[in-house]
Amino acid sequence: MTERITAAIDTGVTTPLGFLAGAVAAGLRTRSGQDDLALLFSELRCVAAALFTSSAIAAAPVVLSRRNIADGKARAVVVNAGCANAYTGAEGYRDSEEMVRLAASQLRFAYSNAGSASKLRLADSDVLVASTGVTGHRLPIDKIRAAMPKIVLDRDGGGRFAHAIMTTDTVPKQAAAVFTSGGREYRVGGCAKGSGMIHPNLATMLAFLTSDAPVERAFLEETLRSAADASFHMITVDGDTSPNDTLLILANGAAGGATLREGVEGAAQFREAVVKVCVELAKAIARDAEGATKLIEIKVVGAKSLDDARTAARTVAGSSLVKSAVYGNDPNWGRVLAAVARSGAAVEEEATNLFWQGVCVFRRGRPLAYDEKALSAATKNDEVRIRVDLGLGRARAVAWGCDLTEEYVRINSEYTT
Amino acid sequence: MTERITAAIDTGVTTPLGFLAGAVAAGLRTRSGQDDLALLFSELRCVAAALFTSSAIAAAPVVLSRRNIADGKARAVVVNAGCANAYTGAEGYRDSEEMVRLAASQLRFAYSNAGSASKLRLADSDVLVASTGVTGHRLPIDKIRAAMPKIVLDRDGGGRFAHAIMTTDTVPKQAAAVFTSGGREYRVGGCAKGSGMIHPNLATMLAFLTSDAPVERAFLEETLRSAADASFHMITVDGDTSPNDTLLILANGAAGGATLREGVEGAAQFREAVVKVCVELAKAIARDAEGATKLIEIKVVGAKSLDDARTAARTVAGSSLVKSAVYGNDPNWGRVLAAVARSGAAVEEEATNLFWQGVCVFRRGRPLAYDEKALSAATKNDEVRIRVDLGLGRARAVAWGCDLTEEYVRINSEYTT
């Protein structure tokens, strides 16, 4: 069985063996003094897999990372907050290349300093890159050049790394899981930043996962995809998508043992651990969305197909009206039904049941009487659960969202000016 | 040429000849005293066409109106605000049937009273019905029964009708256009209610159009569809869709002349007039959206196809981030580009140009320097125009939306409780 790691000190990207991380304040943010340049490094070369933005215009760091991960290998990730380096054309791409070169140089230098006998062989193409922040502005590459040498890599650096990549996040988001296979213990760790523009298909979200398991490339890719489908693709904050979205996983095999691939012992546990970390990070993102005060969990059961269940759950989670109602402790379940009915999923009024915070408010096409005051009081909770039983099949899915608040509007109307 | 009618007194559904309307306060709203039951009647039987909600669960009045308009004929419309009669099952359907029966009885009675020599022959199925308001509650049919006889039909009753159908609208929405063909003058009038949940595909929107032109059924249907595609389907407030959405047009031929059909003299002018009225009503809805302070006009040009142009324009108009930025007078054009790039339309960064309030901020893949303070000041306007040139073709489209404000959240978090 997979277990969640609860140790508070280091529950993130440096939880698995052989990973080091660090960060520094490079002055890329408007409010300076906070870390905004972060580096993740593995002592062993990793098998790597990633999912990037579905936007037709990807930011420069995404274009470069896609290229650098094409061989399925990577060893380091350099990330900055404060500037997304998106919509910056050819110059922007060259800036991302320079950022990768600076990170690789720093790693070669730092690793030698760390007393390793053998000289570090690290190609620039083994470094992946991600950026987040305001779009349409050039990367302050001089500040990055000046700050990079100040990054100190640490085996407990995951927390600092998670802090450094935050934008309007109010808390860092980290998770880890551990599993045993063939007498060995393996770890999966991760961190993420979210906050605005979070939507199915990786809206402005960066998430980095690590593992010390040895994993075959195809199996790693498939595991990441299916984990994303059940986690990051099931959260929505405001329906927008950024050009920078990146989810990646590095597996370095530092814990030893035979390579995990589809069907072998340990493979299912590995997948379960990755899903667990992804779901935990995804929920943390939804909960900490800009201005949000509540996490909303939408469970759709009885759907005709998995696609239907997911579409219906996501549509409800993304409805501005449902989000506003939850914020106002208003059990306005008609808005849930309206969202389900327009989602494209197969829906039949007479077959549908709807539960709001555990109370059945609509059964087989009919509204039920309920205590409005009591249900409103039950909605005054930092988690609101809505369950829709479509009564048409056996497929089910869960989506997570957040309430829509005046604060969301305030944050997003004051971002650049 | 079509001309907009500017006479203020009666610019709506009773502008065309032979239409009467009226309304009464039936006590269906929480705040009583305001008209909430409205009736529209034509002295001549009309050719009728309609578009209804795309939701998989339509409200009872929609189900009944679909049935009653199946023969392409209608003569009256009864509408109530305060209760949507949605998600109310078989009882809800019977309530809508009863509302139609009550309206038909009242019309037969009132028309005889009006001194007509011939007894009015009006089948129940000649009456269409629409409801708007909160979902999941039964229609207070007793109040409707008591109030219906108090409705006085008036040749200048369009304004009162437009007022009565409002929910959170702050102003009634009416428009009219006139055109001449074959020496005759024809009129098209209309009114609408919008406010929340307005989105492409007729979200909680009711719109009623009338005309005194004689129109062939197929041509009327095609005209309404194409006019909706260029107007109501191009506005978005919050991405939600209601089960009650209804757009309908009644043409009674009271102005005489030959029947308008595709290709005949006057057909193009008729279509132009219908589009004009629809666009005016659609813009009025976007401008008056819940909590909105600004109308946003998104023009997409240079698209590969009309579908691409419309999809891109609507996606920008619907982006919460763009809407929040406009509210904050923040020319955060990267969010526009992000929305275009995720819309599904063909987009190439290097071919794209972007204008914000007339200022080019992005040209062929590169951000341009601009005076941020001046552009922010220019955004402090009750109309904000954004233009995206995709540089890939010749198709173009315009969408309208509104800013997202704290007030929107406030309104929608306090709706039922």
CA A17 to chain centre: 22
Is the confidence at residue A189, as pLDDT, over 50? Answer: yes
Closest residue in A to B371 (Cα) is: A417
Q: Are strands B73-83 and B127-134 parallel, antiparallel or unpaired?
A: parallel
Instruction: State the average pLDDT for chain B.
Output: 89
- Is B335 in Cβ contact with A135 (below 8 Å)? yes
Q: What does pTM read for this prediction?
A: 0.81
Q: Which of B138, B239, B333 lies at the smallest CB-CB distance from A239?
A: B239
Active site (annotated) includes residue B53: no
Question: What mean pLDDT do residues B177-200 have?
Answer: 83
Q: 188-207 in A: which are within 8 Å (CB) of B?
A: 196-197, 201
For the domain made up of A295-413, give the CATH fold.
Ubiquitin-like (UB roll) (3.10.20)
Query: pLDDT tens digit string along B306-337?
Result: 999 999 999 999 888 888 889 989 898 988 99
pLDDT higher than 90, residue A406:
no
- A/B interface, count of CB pairs below 8 Å: 230
Residue among B324, B341, B366 whose CB faces A412 most closely: B324
pLDDT band at A136 (very low <50, low <70, confident <90, very high): confident
Tell me whether B32 touches chain A (CB under 8 Å). no
Residue B300's pLDDT band, with cuts at 50, 70 and 90, is very high
Minimal CA–CA distance to A372: which of A320, A315, A333? A333
Shortest distance, CA A334 to any CA of chain B (angstroms): 5
What is the pLDDT confidence band of residue B195, given thresholds at 50, 70 and 90? low
CA dist A342 → A316, A338, B290, B385 (Å): 10, 6, 21, 29
- Residues A280 and A174: their CA atoms lie apart, in Å, by 8
Chain A residues within an 8 Å CB radius of B375: none
pLDDT of residue A407: 75
Closest-approach residue (CA) in chain A for B134: A334
**Catalytic residue, candidates B11, B167, B204, B352:** B204
**CATH assignment of B3-287?**
3.60.70.12
Q: Where are the beta strands (DSSP E) in A160-263?
A: 173-181, 184-193, 206-211, 246-251
Torsion of CA B216, B218, B224, B230, to 10 degrees: -120
Q: What percent of chain B has pLDDT over 90?
A: 71
* Interchain proximity B365–A89, CB inside 8 Å: yes
> How far apart, in whole angstroms, are the C-alpha atoms of residue A286 and residue A326?
14
Q: Which amino acid would we find at residue A370? A: Y
- What ipTM, to 2 d.p.? 0.73
Asked if the model's pLDDT at residue A365 lies above 70, the reply is yes
From-to residues of CATH 3.10.20.340 in chain B: 295-413
Average pLDDT of the residues of chain A: 89
The verdict on A371 touching B (C-beta cutoff 8 Å) is: no
Q: Is the pLDDT at B7 greater than 70, yes or no?
A: no
Give pLDDT tens digits for B364-402: 988 999 998 999 999 999 999 999 999 999 999 999 998
- Using CB atoms, pick whichever of B239, B329, B341 lies closest to residue A243: B341
Q: Residues of CATH 3.60.70.12 domain(s) within chain B?
A: 3-287
Shortest Cα distance, chain B CAs vs residue A84, angstroms: 10
Residue numbers in A near B384 (CB within 8 A): none
